[in-house]
């Protein structure tokens, strides 16, 4: 699997326009430590095979030291994309080996599912477990052993979760290394410029360096005086040049010369030349070269190659999948113990209240603390609390509710910290794409995670507590990945001795939000918009049961189709914003998003056709991303880093408060006036919230 991951990464890097000789530019720190780890690992196995008794007696410390050396070598190189995933995989494998006395257990049914037999396992590094799971399966790190069958040659065998992380990390590292050589981070503006391109008179700003760079085939940073984002945008498209695409009156623009292998290249310098007026010119690109260059400059590719952001994104995706597992398990755990829908409803109430009660308070503390440490501690605390849920449930079901409240309360600290840290690890012009990628990850967890969670929980049967332990494990993985992110410490405006009181800090956050016209207007739009979202979430089951006609599907299936439609729309909207969002004003996107969401919601009242309703739900999902992602980006761009937690906390409290109010009152309104009027009125409210932004010039231009 590891070799396959590396090969896959190399192939993907070459297809994206990378070169194998870029591998020679990779500079890993403590490379000798990595080689020593490999030597100890396989040397120990070799001497055990040869029957040396002392090696077998010391197998645990020898194998453990090999993995400790490997982890140390990976840690110091964590800035390279993919290394953080490889670190998590190695850590998981080390935990399994240490907790099993110096061997990696293989689950025998998985071995047979891969087409192998117990006698095929000849290495003393491995041991067999099964077919019955031992009583101390969890204590022996059971979920981390070799459980995943791989029946396809040449990768036939059994892999662990750690192997999956390690293979993915090495594949990612190989891809990045082939694509861009030894640069550990992609936060270089020159990466976004087309290779060998100088915009306008940039070539004469520093003529010596520019000529040297272009002749050597290296990118040159545009010296146009534009912001980095505008400079990138101007470099993505071939400019309009008077009298065609050849040399001419093209200042300020890019002038192209034939490439070294193109007709008309005879007598032309292989990479660049200076025109009579001193403008540096670049080779003409082929269509394939242009495609590769645009692919490498795409925001999603740049973010993927940003070691800090990719570690954050991967950690969040993993923990989100764990959340879906524990949410499904929690519902069935409470329902199975109480057989009461009301008891299940109280779970969601307990999970919602902290958003309303603690948002600004949590944000104030987040502004006092380092954001990365807040996220790490929050993940570890959530892991500890989640493990207690099944124990509390069998003791007294009432104990579950404060634990659910506590998990959400900890998450209230995590969310503003995550919002605040993203602008610190990506470039300003990548914020929209970064927020889009974050929401795409959450949507993937919804669309894929919930069905997988349902299957997983169903297969567990009486072993339902395992679902909570798995979720706790995903929080630990997220904490490890977050610990590998390198962030420059924030320069606080005041020392702890001169810091104002807690209430004064809280008031400062509110005053900033109240005086910042764009953010206040956006928050008010969000309050109204989330009223509709809360109502729609509540009445969707009623809509599936009472409004949809002409189909043989059960209401539960119809409800599932409608929810899937929203998820698909969220996914499509997230990708759409990542592709084109940077080209449009964020305030305009917010206006369009709310207006479109309102129209789609109101239109649901006038149809009972299932395909049409699903299409409208897809529209709601797309519109949701169109206003959510730019809103988050606006807050990140316009809020000082030292106020981010408080300002975002106030927004969360107001928006989630409105959503909670709507969820509580929607059922009563449906009984009073009917389902159709509730959908129409709530849709018109959201449409009005969007259109209202047109009357505020600052919002339109934001």
Cα 341 from Cα 335, distance rounded (Å): 7
What mean pLDDT do residues 575-599 have?
A: 82
Cα 628 from Cα 535, distance rounded (Å): 18
Cα 330 from Cα 171, distance rounded (Å): 36
Tell me the pTM.
0.65
For 606-657, give the DSSP string. Answer: G---HHHHHHHHHHHHHHHHHHHHHHHHHHHHHS-GGGHHHHHHHHHHHHHH
CATH 1.20.1250.20 at 501-702, yes or no: yes
**For 624-683, how does the pLDDT look when each residue is reduced to its tens digit (9 = 90+)?**
888 888 888 888 888 887 888 888 888 888 887 787 777 767 777 887 888 889 899 989
Which listed CATH number (1.20.81.30, 3.30.420.40, 1.10.10.10, 1.20.1250.20) goes with 306-485?
1.20.1250.20
Please determine, for residue 18, whether its predicted confidence score (pLDDT) is greater than 50. Answer: yes
Per-residue pLDDT, 181: 55
Residues β-bridged to residue 126: 104
Both tokens of residue 334? 């409470």
Domain coordinates in residue numbering, the chain: 2-180, 189-299, 306-485, 501-702
CA nearest neighbour of 185 among 5, 294, 31, 309: 309
- How would you classify the pairing of strands 148-150 and 157-159? antiparallel
What mean pLDDT do residues 379-400 have?
A: 87
Please determine, for residue 692, whether its predicted confidence score (pLDDT) is greater than 60. Answer: yes
Please determine, for residue 108, whether its predicted confidence score (pLDDT) is greater than 90. Answer: no
Both tokens of residue 131? 């077919």
Please determine, for residue 265, whether its predicted confidence score (pLDDT) is greater than 90. Answer: no
Please determine, for residue 603, whether its predicted confidence score (pLDDT) is greater than 90. Answer: yes
What mean pLDDT do residues 368-395 have?
A: 88
Length reported for the chain: 702
Q: How far is CA 209 from the centre of its chain?
A: 38
Domain 501-702 in the same topology as domain 306-485: yes
Mean pLDDT of the chain: 76
Confidence of residue 487 (pLDDT cuts 50, 70, 90): confident
Q: How many alpha carbons fall within 13 Å on the CB side of residue 37?
A: 18
At residue 476's C-alpha, the angle toward residues 451 and 418, to 5°, is 85
Cα 478 from Cα 238, distance rounded (Å): 42
Cα 349 from Cα 344, distance rounded (Å): 9
For 447-477, give the DSSP string. Answer: IIIHHHHHHHHHHHGGGTHHHHHHHHHHHHH
Both tokens of residue 371? 């954001």
């Amino acid at each position: 699997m590891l070799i396959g991951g590396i090969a896959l990464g190399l192939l993907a890097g070459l297809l994206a326009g990378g070169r194998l000789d870029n591998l020679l530019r990779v500079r890993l720190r403590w490379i000798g430590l990595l080689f020593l780890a490999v030597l100890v690992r396989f040397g120990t196995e070799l001497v055990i095979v040869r029957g040396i008794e002392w090696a077998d007696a010391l197998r645990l410390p020898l194998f453990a030291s090999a993995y400790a050396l490997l982890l140390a070598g990976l840690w110091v190189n964590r800035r390279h994309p993919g290394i953080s995933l490889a670190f998590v995989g190695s850590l998981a494998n080390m935990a399994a080996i240490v907790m099993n006395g110096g061997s990696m257990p293989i689950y025998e049914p998985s071995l047979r599912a891969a087409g192998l037999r117990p006698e095929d396992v000849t290495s003393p590094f491995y041991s067999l477990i099964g077919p019955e799971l031992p009583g101390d399966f969890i204590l022996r790190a059971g979920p981390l052993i070799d459980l995943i069958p791989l029946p396809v040659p040449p990768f036939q065998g059994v892999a662990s979760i750690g192997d999956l992380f390690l293979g993915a990390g090495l594949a990612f590292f190989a891809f990045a290394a082939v694509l861009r050589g030894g640069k550990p981070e992609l936060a270089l503006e020159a990466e976004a410029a087309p290779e060998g391109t100088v915009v306008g008179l940039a070539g004469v700003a520093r003529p010596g360096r520019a000529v040297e760079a272009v002749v050597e085939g290296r990118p040159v940073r545009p010296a146009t005086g534009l912001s980095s984002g505008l400079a990138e945008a101007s470099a993505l498209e071939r400019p309009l040049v008077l009298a065609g695409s050849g040399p001419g009156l093209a200042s300020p623009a890019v002038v192209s010369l034939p490439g070294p292998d193109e007709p008309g290249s005879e007598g032309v310098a292989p990479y660049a030349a200076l025109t009579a007026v001193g403008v540096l010119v670049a080779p003409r690109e082929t269509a394939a070269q242009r495609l590769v260059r645009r692919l490498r400059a795409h925001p999603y590719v740049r973010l993927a190659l940003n070691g800090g952001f990719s570690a954050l994104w991967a950690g969040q995706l993993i923990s989100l999948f764990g959340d879906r597992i524990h949410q499904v398990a929690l519902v069935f755990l409470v329902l199975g113990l109480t057989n009461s829908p009301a008891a299940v409803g109280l779970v969601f109430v307990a999970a919602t209240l902290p958003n309303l009660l603690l948002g600004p308070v949590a944000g104030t503390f987040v502004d006092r603390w380092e954001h990365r440490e807040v996220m790490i501690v929050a993940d570890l605390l959530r892991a500890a609390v989640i493990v207690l849920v099944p124990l509390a449930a069998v003791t007294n079901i009432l104990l579950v509710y404060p634990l659910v409240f506590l998990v959400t309360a900890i998450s209230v600290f995590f969310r503003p910290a995550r919002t605040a840290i993203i602008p610190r690890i990506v470039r300003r012009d990548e914020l929209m794409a970064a927020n889009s990628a974050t929401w795409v990850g959450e949507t993937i967890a919804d669309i894929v995670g919930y069905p997988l969670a349902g299957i997983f929980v169903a297969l567990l049967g009486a072993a339902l507590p395992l679902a909570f332990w798995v979720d706790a494990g995903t929080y630990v993985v997220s904490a490890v990945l977050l610990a590998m992110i390198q962030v420059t410490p924030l320069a606080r405006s005041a020392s702890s001795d001169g810091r104002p009181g807690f209430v004064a800090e809280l008031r400062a956050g509110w005053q900033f939000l109240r005086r910042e016209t764009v953010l206040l207007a956006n928050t008010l739009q969000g309050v109204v918009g989330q009223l509709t979202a809360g109502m729609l979430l509540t009445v969707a089951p009623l809509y599936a049961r009472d409004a949809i006609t002409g189909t043989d599907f059960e209401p539960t299936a119809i409800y599932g189709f409608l929810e899937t439609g929203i998820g698909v729309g969220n996914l499509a909207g997230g990708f759409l914003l990542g592709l084109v969002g940077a080209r449009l004003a964020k305030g305009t996107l917010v206006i369009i998003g709310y207006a479109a969401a309102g129209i789609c919601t109101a239109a649901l009242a006038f149809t009972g056709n299932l395909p049409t309703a699903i299409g409208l739900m897809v529209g709601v999902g797309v519109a949701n991303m169109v206003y959510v992602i730019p809103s988050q980006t606006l807050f990140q761009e316009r809020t000082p880093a030292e106020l981010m937690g408080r300002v975002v906390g106030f927004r969360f409290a107001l928006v989630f408060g409105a959503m909670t109010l709507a969820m509580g009152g929607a059922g009563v309104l449906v009984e009073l006036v009917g389902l159709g009027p509730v959908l129409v009125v709530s849709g018109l409210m959201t449409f009005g919230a969007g259109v209202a932004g047109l009357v505020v010039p600052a919002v339109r231009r934001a």
